[in-house]
Amino acid sequence: MPGEDFRTEARGACRWTVVAFAVFFLAVAATHGAVWREGVRQFVPTGRIEAPKPGSGGMTLRDVVAINRGDALFEAWLVARNAETLIRHPFQLFQTEHCAPVENTLTLSLPMIAMGVLAIPALLVTDDPILIYNFSIVALTLVMAFSMYWLVTDWSGVPAAGIVAGLLYAFHPLRLFYIVHPTEWDTSWTVLALLFARRLFARGWWRDAVGLVLAVAMQMASNFYQLMAAVFLVPPFALWLARHYRLRRVRLGQLAFVAAAVLLAAALIYGPYLEVRSSAPKFLHRSAFFYASLSGYLPHGSTFPGWPLVALAFLGMVLGRRRALVDLEGDPRWALLAGAILVAIMAAGSYNNEILLLFWEKPPFTLPDPYAFLAGVLPGLDAVRVVFRLSAGVILAFSVLAGLGAAALIRASGRHSPLVAAALIAGSAAAVLRPDLLGSTLPRGWDLHDVRASQETVQFFDALAKLGNDGPLLELPYDPEWGWGMNPERILLTAYHHRRTSACYGSFLPPENREILLLSMQLPEPAAARRLRELGFTTVVAHHGKDRTGSTLSRLLQGPGSQESLRLLQSNGSITAFELLPAGRGSPAPSAGR
C-alpha cells in the first residue's frame, strides 16, 4: 500500500540520519577532541604552523603564530558577541564594542553573523565566550557535513554516498588547516541553496522557496569570500535548472518572493557596509589581491583536493547517470564542473597565465586578470583581499561529484553494496584522520592557544562598575594598527565588562585611529582630555604589562594638567584606571582602589 511504503521509506531515512550523525560526531571527536581535552573554556584552535609561508613579508614563525592567535581570539569574541546581540539587542548588531568611537564597526571585518546564529544554543546555557565559540565550530562542522549529506542523498538516493561526501567535504584538510578562520571556508549554505533550488524547480513547493531564501541569507551573513565563490559557481547550475525544468512546476510568484527576500536580506546585511563605504570612498578597499594558482590544484599543491575526492569525483563524472543520479531528473554534473572551473579561474586571477605555459615556453601575450577587472567594475569585490579562499567553491563541487561517484560504485556493486558502502565510509574516515597518506601536504593537527581572560582583570572591571564608572574606554598604550598581542585580549574583555573600547582589530582599520593616537600621546593635557570626552570616552585604562618602561602611567600621573583632566579611580598593580574629567572641573584628591 502507498501509505505503508511511505512509512517504510521514512523509517529508513531516519535510520540513515542516525547513522550519519554517529559517523559525523565520531569524526568531530577525532578532529576536535584535543580542544575538548585541554579545555573548551580556555583554548581555541588554529592550524599547525611549521614555518612561515612564502610571501609572508619576512615574518618569523613567532610572528605568524601571534597573528593566528590574535585572529582566533578576535573571532571567538565576535561569534559570542554576535550570538548575544542577536538575542538581546538585535538592532545593535553592527554597533560592536571595539574600535570606539567609530560607528557600524562590524563592517571592519567579516560579519560572522551565521556563526553567531549557530552559537545561540550555547549562549542559552553559558555566558563563557570561549566555550560558545568552540561550540559554534563544532556546530558549523556538523552543518557542513549534513548539508552535503542531504544534497547527495537527495540527488543520488544513496545515503551511504551522502555520508562519504559529508566526511570528505566538512573535514577536508584545507578547511581544518584554516580553522583559525572557520567562517571564511564555510560554503555549507551554498550547498543547501543548491538543494532547495533544485527542489523548488522540481516540485514548486513554498517550503523550498523559504529554504532557498534562508540558505542564501545565511551565506551572505557568513562571509564575503564564499558568497563570491557562490556567485561564480551557481550560474551554470541556474542555467541548467532553467533549461531542464523551465516553469513547469515553480511559479513566477515563488521566484519573485525569492528574489525580493534575498534583496531584503542583502540590504539588511550589506547596507551598513555600503553606508560606511559611501562616507569614505577609499575605505573598505583593497589595492592588491592574493590568488590561488591553477597549479595548486595538482598533487602536492596548496589547494589539491586530495586523491579520494579526485578519484570519486572522476567516477561521478564518467559513470552513467542512471547509477549516479537515479532519483534525479536531468543531469547537473556538467553544470557543477563548469561552475568549479569558473571559480578556479576567478580565484587564480593573474595566475591564469599558467595556462599559456602549456603551449609556449615564452607566451607572446598575457591573459587579463578577470577578478581584478570585475573588482574595478562591481562595488564590493575590491574589499576581498585573499581571493585564494574562493577555492573552497572548487572543493564544494568536487565533494558533490565525489558523492555521486560513491553512489554509482555502491549501485554497481549489486549484492555486495553494503560491503562497498562500508568500505567507502571507512576509507573517507581514514582520509579525515590521516590526510597526509592521501595526498595532503598541509600540517596535520591544531595548535591550541590559551586565551582565557585573567580573573584578576575581570574583577578589576567589575570593581569599576561598582564605583559607578561606565562608558567607553581609552586603553593605553594605544596601538592604532593591529596590536596582535594586546588588542584582541582587550576586545575579548568586553564580553565581561560590556563597555566599548578603543582597541581595534579586523580586516580594516578606521581612519579615526590617527586622531585617537595623537590625543592619547598628548594626555594628560586638558585639551586632549576634553577632545576625548567629546568623542565619548569616559575612562582611561593604562595596562602596565604592555608598557615596560612605565612611561605611559608616569605621564598620566605626573604630566602637566593631570589634576585638571584625570582622576585616579583604581589600580591593581597591573592596570590603572582614570576618569576623564569634564572640561572646567577640578580634580579632587586622588583615591586609589586596591
Per-residue pLDDT, averaged over 316-335, amounts to 86
pLDDT tens per residue across span 262-277: 999 999 999 998 888 7
Per-residue pLDDT, averaged over 371-378, amounts to 83
Per-residue pLDDT, averaged over 361-371, amounts to 88
Q: How many CB atoms lie within 10 A of CB 589?
A: 7
60 φ/ψ sector (left φ>0, alpha ψ -120 to 50, else beta): beta
Separation of alpha carbons 73 and 463, rounded Å: 25
Residues 6+ apart with CB under 8 A from 339: 232, 233, 234, 235, 236, 237, 393, 397
Residues 6+ apart with CB under 8 A from 27: 145, 167, 170, 171, 429, 432
> Lowest mean pLDDT: which of 138-142, 165-169, 446-450, 572-576?
572-576
Q: Name beta bridge partners: 449.
A: 44
Q: How many CB atoms lie within 10 A of CB 564?
A: 18
Separation of alpha carbons 128 and 40, rounded Å: 10
C-alpha cell at 10: 521514512
- According to DSSP, the β-strands at 539-543 and 566-571 are unpaired
Residues 6+ apart with CB under 8 A from 493: 453, 457, 458, 461, 501
DSSP 470: -
Distance of CA 502 to the CA centre of its chain: 24
Asked whether 74 and 491 are in contact (CB, 8 A), the reply is yes
The pTM of this model reads: 0.92
Separation of alpha carbons 269 and 218, rounded Å: 10
Distance of CA 363 to the CA centre of its chain: 38
The dihedral through the CA atoms of 74, 218, 224, 399 has a sign that is positive
Compute the mean pLDDT over every residue in the chain, rounded to the nearest whole number.
Answer: 89
Strongest mean pLDDT among 106-120, 500-514, 532-546: 106-120
Q: How many CB atoms lie within 10 A of CB 380?
A: 15
In the prediction, which pLDDT does 549 show? 43
- Residue whose cell numbers read 547527495: 152
Nearest to 197 by CA among 259, 112, 270: 259
Asked whether 585 and 526 are in contact (CB, 8 A), the reply is no
Confidence of residue 546 (pLDDT cuts 50, 70, 90): low
In the prediction, which pLDDT does 141 show? 97
Asked whether 340 and 397 are in contact (CB, 8 A), the reply is yes
Q: How many CB atoms lie within 10 A of CB 586?
A: 8
Asked whether 342 and 397 are in contact (CB, 8 A), the reply is no
Separation of alpha carbons 214 and 400, rounded Å: 21
Helix (H) and strand (E) counts in the chain? 22, 6
In the prediction, which pLDDT does 58 show? 62
Per-residue pLDDT, averaged over 68-93, amounts to 95
Q: What share of the chain has pLDDT > 90, as a percent? A: 69
Pinpoint the alpha helices (H) of 223-349.
Answer: 224-245, 252-279, 307-318, 321-324, 333-348
In the prediction, which pLDDT does 552 show? 75
pLDDT tens per residue across span 33-64: 999 999 999 999 999 887 655 555 566 777 78
In the prediction, which pLDDT does 499 show? 96
In the prediction, which pLDDT does 330 show? 85
C-alpha cell at 508: 580594516
